[in-house]
Structure 1
Amino acid sequence: MLDHESTNCEVFRKNFLTDWRREMTPEESILITDLNKCDFFELFYLNKRRVDAQYTMSKEEKQVIAEANKMLTEEYGYYTLNQHRERIGNFRIEPPGLFHGQGEHAKEGMLKRRIQPEDVIINCSKQARIPEPPAGHRWKEVRHDNTVTWLASWTENIQGVSSYIMLNGSSQPQGEKDWETYELAQRLHSYVDQIRSQYYQDMDSTEMAIRQGATALYFIDKLGLSVGCEKEVSCSSLRVKNITLHKDRDGNKYMVEFDYLTKDLIRSYNKVPVTQRVYKNLENLIETKEAGDKLFDQLTTSTLNEYISSLMPGLTAKVFRTHNTSVALQKSLRELSCMSDDLSAKLLAYNRANREAAVHGNRQQADTKDFEQSMAGLHAKIDSMTQELVQAKTELTVATWKAKGCPDSKWHDEVKKKRKATRQLEDQLLKLNIQAICREEGRQIALSTMTINYPDPRITIAWCMNMNVPLERIYNESQRVKFAWAIDMTKADFEF
């Protein structure tokens, strides 16, 4: 993590040294007392060379790794439910590492310890074969709870947060759960104005917890914030320092400026015009607080969830996000799609509409490590194909000139051949250019996460039917399995 901004933070370094000293031998603890005198760069570059080597492996080396992973998946990646063999989501436990939390977290730099079998609860049927723990170990507990959908659980040592091995998104129980969320989001669409009116009224409540809950829900609705999560900024983790209030800015009388780091540690900066009531509530909330204090100090994850569900049975922050992203996606698809466009242009329109929905869902991500390299490769392909197209057009011009007034069919056939080749190159070049636009425009938006997790899939399926776009160009095979229920029930005239 030496190339990470967090490692320069005083809190990070202090926490790291404290936890590191607990792992030292008595001799090491006497010798090592000042982190500034420690040089980790030899280890850093050793690790970097190991990571870089993965990108230069031969096809045969990659195949060996792929086969090994396939064997692991076959052994650990499936479960049986009601006599059906289905995929597990992610069956690997996160390895040890340094906690970086969200922004300047009080516990950043602490050691996330290795999870041992003694930390893990296994959940399976009474008649099932219980997985064998590693030699010399035992499970913390073996449980037979068929009211939940997790298969294993453990608690990490820093935040005390539970982590789970879950069913794959394409599994039947998960599909049913997703369907319930989409149906609730559709139901919310009929009542959303009434619910918004209610939480606006609750912002004037004399009970501080309700007032804070209503104000928090405003930002869940407006910005797509979650209720509470260790890895990202949420309503329960917002700090006073994450917001700045402006009574008059950019032509808006009341403006809130948000500035925080996302879970991928990229800066999220947003200026949001708000109502006078919201602005006054925020003024009162920060009046006597320090920069590092929680903004909504009267709220916990559970109390905020209770407030949200009191407005409509089953209502959650996720349902709100599903509703808002679905509305945004459907609206953008109507505005951007054109039946007369070719397939590449239609896919570009879909990606742009999906990006608009992602903004409503607060789905940001950092650039991948190889983004620049990948874009350079794509632009190199575009340049090469552009040259090929210039050459093909030149050859077409020559063939056309020679065919003029020439009775020999040879040159007329040559013109047809060159014209076909030119059109193919034009189509391929258009696809590459659209691909480059999609990548560049969506570089910090988690489009794939957005496509499969938030908007109602029936909107996408209906759009594909209407626009004559093959569904496999949007959803891969496992995603089509996940949304099989939606594919079966969706008609081309579906509206959210």
Structure 2
Amino acid sequence: MSDSSDDDRPLAASKAASNGHSSSANPGLSIRNGTNGTNGTNGLVKRKARTSIGQSVSYKDESDSDDDAPMAKRQKALLPNGSSKVSRPSNGTPSIKRPPPDDDSEDEVLALPKKRQSNGATPASSRKLNGTKVKDESDSDVPMAKKKTPAASKTAARPPAKPAAKTSTNGKNAVTSTPKKTTASKVVKKAESAEPGEDEEEGEEEYRWWDAPKKEDDSIKWTTLEHAGVVFPPPYQPLPKNVRLYYDGIKLDLHPDAEEVATFFGSMLHLTVNTENPTFRKNFFADFQDILKQTGGAKGPDGQKVPIKDFAKLDFKPMFEYYKAQSEARKNRSKEEKKIEKDEKAKLEAPYLYCKWDGRKEKVGNFRVEPPGLFRGRGEHPKTGKVKKRVLPEQVTINIGKDAVVPQPPPGHKWKGVQHDNKATWLAMWQENINGCYKYVMLAANSAVKGQADYKKFEKARTLKKYISRIRADYTRELKSEVMADRQRATAMYLIDRFALRAGNEKDTDNEADTVGCCSLKYEHITLREPNTVIFDFLGKDSIPYYDEVPVDRQVFKNLKMFKKPPKEDGDDIFDRLNTSQLNKHLASYMQGLTAKVFRTYNASYTMSKLLQELPVTNLSIAEKVKLYNDCNRKVAILCNHKRTVGASHEAQMEKIGDRIKGMKYQKWRTRMMMLDVDPKLKKKKGAEYFEREPELTDEWVMEHQAFLVEEQRTKITKKFEKDNEKRAIEGEKPLPEKELKERLKAVGELEAKFKKENRSKKVEAEGKAPSVEKLEAASKKIDERIHNMELQAADKDGNKEVALSTSKINYIDPRLTVVFSEKFDVPIEKFFSKTLREKFNWAIQSVGDDSTWEF
């Protein structure tokens, strides 16, 4: 199912705006808690009350998630019967309204700038270095390709013999290319162990769509399409007879359908932010009573009906305890049991992982139909707590090639329809019952289709640079227009451009959270303070509070004052003669496809570009360079109001990081004291200060830390002993005797005795093989570097506690800017993009390559 990661929905100029929202030196010791961390007409009539189209199309209800399922019900998915062929209805397939295309799909793909090469050849995929397949690495803090020997070059070595050019084809278009010189850190690597169903992908050449010639008809998304359909969630498994819902102390017998709805609430009692929400409770109880009526009601032990009228008398605790126990049991299974289940699930789901798109293998984003559960929503959503009903095959429409084999639905069921729309990029769709939104199965984020959509979005923002001066000059002039509608439009454009406000769509406040954007601002959302300060105070998208006090041009201040004149009052629109449709229609007159949304992408990317250009290229550590990048990203996130509430665990996490830093400082002190043990004269040479323990490392803290280290070593030894015995049991060998554990644990006693001696004598004996001052001093310097890096990370983490950096980095900042920063400052791209993002933005990584001069 499509999980739209774009923070805003597209604002189509040709459609009514109802679809979007407004919206370690000592090897013998470890450090505490670890060693390293790193969217009419332009009339003059006041707009009527806002309403929304009931059948609004949305790729995904972003408030839904797969974790709505009860804890113990997240089981192996029910797969359709995998028959090889199915006959199509002779009367044709039902037709439905095709959903809007992907973001910016109306735009032509602009030719990407090719990377300059000495041989003038078109770059090609490079997945091997020196003929060896690159092994997948974890996103650790250790640079993957930046580790160099003194004589190593920046780029990976190429094979000694120049291989023959390869030719990749896509329909009628062919691309001939030679291997590309690729920085090793930028190679999008394959996993060392491929997922089931990936075998045939081995050896396939990467589809470099950014190098392929532009299609004549960009509205045609595919010529052939084959896929296996969707996976439905497993059927409900009734509770054991000893686990029941109680009402006023009476044990209830419920129809399985009603029992299942009860478990939705019973399994999430620990999520008090939902279960103690009055709206959530009210909506759930209303839906629960409806299902009771439909299924014959609740019965007591004597078979008599029990009227369920008071929510407070319902006792869900037995259900909660049952699911909690089931969850714990699953967590406590052995590795072998977990692996067996994982392998079985992977084998069953393998056919659904990929589709054949124009004969090319593409990964499917989410082929699993959402399980039933309770809708949560974001912020103060009026429908929170309502029951998300189970989706049946009769609700699902399949989109597939005409000549492809239609996947079979589960036995006893049929699809709602089968269609062959090659202008659509979805594979399957259905309508959910909460908001009437459509859900789609789409290709994965790293697919060519998704990559092209991202590319076109950022290229459109780049194109806006050519028109922005004229647009700003026009709306500045129209701020004094005698036509009120034009004056309102100009003022709104000013706010959207200068403060990155979302456009703000019309919406049905009875069914949606009361969030707003620029065009939907109400009287009460703006406060004016002379001479030119505007105070914004409203709920933005996802119910994130937007509060800001900003200075504006005097004419803008006068206009807003005029727009708030009586008889307007609370609840009235500020821009009562403007909506997003009118605004976007006006913007499209400047540039094809231009909408208010593009301004956010443009301003975010342009701002990031300028901030990065201002950074000095100095001799900084990797951690310092990463922090510089994050500081720039944070400014863009604040501009876009990408805020988040401080997590409940933030303080605990910061405290844990603090303990780790103190642990490293203690280790540094011990290492320096060992230097004195090797050469006592160093105290005079380096000065007593060099060997002093930091004030925060009090005697009391040291004692606690030493006890922690002793217990940590004991735990490690015991766990290693247990794992050894588990392995021996699997291999049919006798378990190790307890005396072996006692023998191993002697090291714990030795460590404890060592600490006691150190505390008593105030001296630390040198450890390790052939200790020397040079070795210990080098170890001390390494610990100092780690402390510095950890302190940078702590400051970065604390600075980001109320800012969501990932939203701007993934959706608003052109990824090529990050690639350029990575290249220019010699920082591994892994520091900014996870493996998933490196795959998603492979087009950016490969198209920019080593060209650090690329500009937004």
Q: What TM bracket, shorter-length normalisation?
A: 0.7 to 0.9
How far did residue 152 of structure 1 move?
A: 1.9
Give the structure 2 partner of residue 494 of structure 1.
854
Q: Secondary structure at the match of 2:367?
A: coil
* 1:270-309 equivalence runs, <5 A: 270-275=548-553, 278-279=556-557, 284=563, 302=581, 305-309=584-588
For the pair 1:223 / 2:500, whether they are aligned, the reply is yes
Amino acid in the other structure paired with 2:290: R
Give the structure 2 partner of residue 136 of structure 1.
412
Give the structure 2 partner of residue 18 of structure 1.
286
For the pair 1:186 / 2:186, whether they are aligned, the reply is no
Give the structure 1 partner of residue 517 of structure 2.
235
More helix by share: 1
* 1:463-482 equivalence runs, <5 A: 463-482=821-840
For the pair 1:447 / 2:447, whether they are aligned, the reply is no
How far did residue 122 of structure 1 move?
A: 1.8
* 1:326-405 equivalence runs, <5 A: 326-366=605-645, 371=650, 374-401=653-680
Give the structure 1 partner of residue 38 of structure 2.
none
Return closer, same or farther for 1:73/1:311 CA change in 2, 3 Å cut-off: farther
- How far apart, CA to CA, are the structure 1 residues paired with 2:481 and 2:326? 58
Amino acid in the other structure paired with 1:416: E
For the pair 1:27 / 2:272, whether they are aligned, the reply is no
**Contact map agreement 1:121 1:140 (CA 8 A) in 2:** yes
How far did residue 106 of structure 1 move?
A: 4.1
**Contact map agreement 1:98 1:111 (CA 8 A) in 2:** yes
How far did residue 177 of structure 1 move?
A: 1.9
- How far apart, CA to CA, are the structure 2 residues paired with 1:154 and 1:218? 39
How far did residue 434 of structure 1 move?
A: 2.4
Amino acid in the other structure paired with 1:194: R
Give the structure 2 partner of residue 255 of structure 1.
534
- How far apart, CA to CA, are the structure 2 residues paired with 1:196 and 1:170? 36
Q: Please, which runs of 5 or more residues in structure 2 have no aligned partner?
A: 1-267, 299-304, 685-767
**Contact map agreement 1:87 1:168 (CA 8 A) in 2:** yes
**Contact map agreement 1:403 1:415 (CA 8 A) in 2:** no
Q: Secondary structure at the match of 2:527?
A: strand
TM-score by length of 2: 0.50
- How far apart, CA to CA, are the structure 1 residues paired with 2:822 and 2:650? 29
TM-score by length of 1: 0.82
How far did residue 368 of structure 1 move?
A: 5.7
Amino acid in the other structure paired with 1:225: R
- Deviations along 1:405-424, one digit per CA (max 9) or x if unpaired, are 9xxxx999701111221122
Comparing 50-59 and 445-454, the one that deviates more: 50-59
* Residue among 453, 473, 477 paired with 1:177: 453
- How far apart, CA to CA, are the structure 1 residues paired with 2:632 and 2:477? 33
**Contact map agreement 2:516 2:541 (CA 8 A) in 1:** no
For the pair 1:312 / 2:591, whether they are aligned, the reply is yes
How far did residue 307 of structure 1 move?
A: 4.2
- How far apart, CA to CA, are the structure 1 residues paired with 2:339 and 2:643? 32
Q: Percent identity?
A: 35
For the pair 1:422 / 2:810, whether they are aligned, the reply is no
Q: Secondary structure at the match of 1:401?
A: coil
Q: Secondary structure at the match of 1:122?
A: strand
Return closer, same or farther for 1:404/1:377 CA change in 2, 3 Å cut-off: closer
- How far apart, CA to CA, are the structure 2 residues paired with 1:304 and 1:64? 56
How far did residue 113 of structure 1 move?
A: 2.3
Return closer, same or farther for 1:123/1:330 CA change in 2, 3 Å cut-off: same
Give the structure 1 partner of residue 432 of structure 2.
156
Return closer, same or farther for 1:385/1:355 CA change in 2, 3 Å cut-off: same
* Residue among 104, 120, 127 paired with 2:396: 120
* Residue among 266, 269, 293 paired with 2:547: 269
**Contact map agreement 2:523 2:568 (CA 8 A) in 1:** no
Return closer, same or farther for 1:338/1:17 CA change in 2, 3 Å cut-off: same
Comparing 384-393 and 431-440, the one that deviates more: 431-440
* Residue among 355, 359, 368 paired with 1:83: 359
Q: Secondary structure at the match of 2:787?
A: helix
Comparing 97-106 and 50-59, the one that deviates more: 50-59
- Deviations along 1:437-469, one digit per CA (max 9) or x if unpaired, are 232222333323332322112211111211111
For the pair 1:433 / 2:791, whether they are aligned, the reply is yes
**Contact map agreement 2:519 2:579 (CA 8 A) in 1:** no
How far did residue 84 of structure 1 move?
A: 1.9
Comparing 312-321 and 232-241, the one that deviates more: 232-241
Q: Secondary structure at the match of 2:350?
A: helix
**Contact map agreement 2:492 2:519 (CA 8 A) in 1:** no
Return closer, same or farther for 1:472/1:72 CA change in 2, 3 Å cut-off: farther
Greater Rg over alpha carbons, structure: 2
Amino acid in the other structure paired with 2:538: D
Q: Secondary structure at the match of 1:86?
A: strand
**Contact map agreement 1:100 1:109 (CA 8 A) in 2:** yes
Comparing 359-368 and 113-122, the one that deviates more: 359-368
Amino acid in the other structure paired with 1:17: F
**Contact map agreement 1:337 1:346 (CA 8 A) in 2:** no
- Deviations along 1:294-338, one digit per CA (max 9) or x if unpaired, are 766766665554344334211134422221111221233234554
Return closer, same or farther for 1:300/1:237 CA change in 2, 3 Å cut-off: closer
Q: Secondary structure at the match of 2:441?
A: strand
How far did residue 209 of structure 1 move?
A: 6.9
- How far apart, CA to CA, are the structure 2 residues paired with 1:51 and 1:196? 58
**Contact map agreement 2:515 2:540 (CA 8 A) in 1:** yes
How far did residue 189 of structure 1 move?
A: 1.9
Give the structure 2 partner of residue 245 of structure 1.
527
Give the structure 1 partner of residue 368 of structure 2.
92
**Contact map agreement 1:239 1:291 (CA 8 A) in 2:** no
Return closer, same or farther for 1:301/1:261 CA change in 2, 3 Å cut-off: closer
How far did residue 392 of structure 1 move?
A: 1.2
- Deviations along 1:338-362, one digit per CA (max 9) or x if unpaired, are 4211111101111121121222233
In the comparison of the two structures, how many residue pairs are matched?
A: 488
Return closer, same or farther for 1:83/1:380 CA change in 2, 3 Å cut-off: farther
Q: Secondary structure at the match of 1:451?
A: helix
Q: Secondary structure at the match of 1:440?
A: helix
- How far apart, CA to CA, are the structure 1 residues paired with 2:588 and 2:534? 28
Return closer, same or farther for 1:451/1:414 CA change in 2, 3 Å cut-off: same
**Contact map agreement 1:232 1:262 (CA 8 A) in 2:** no
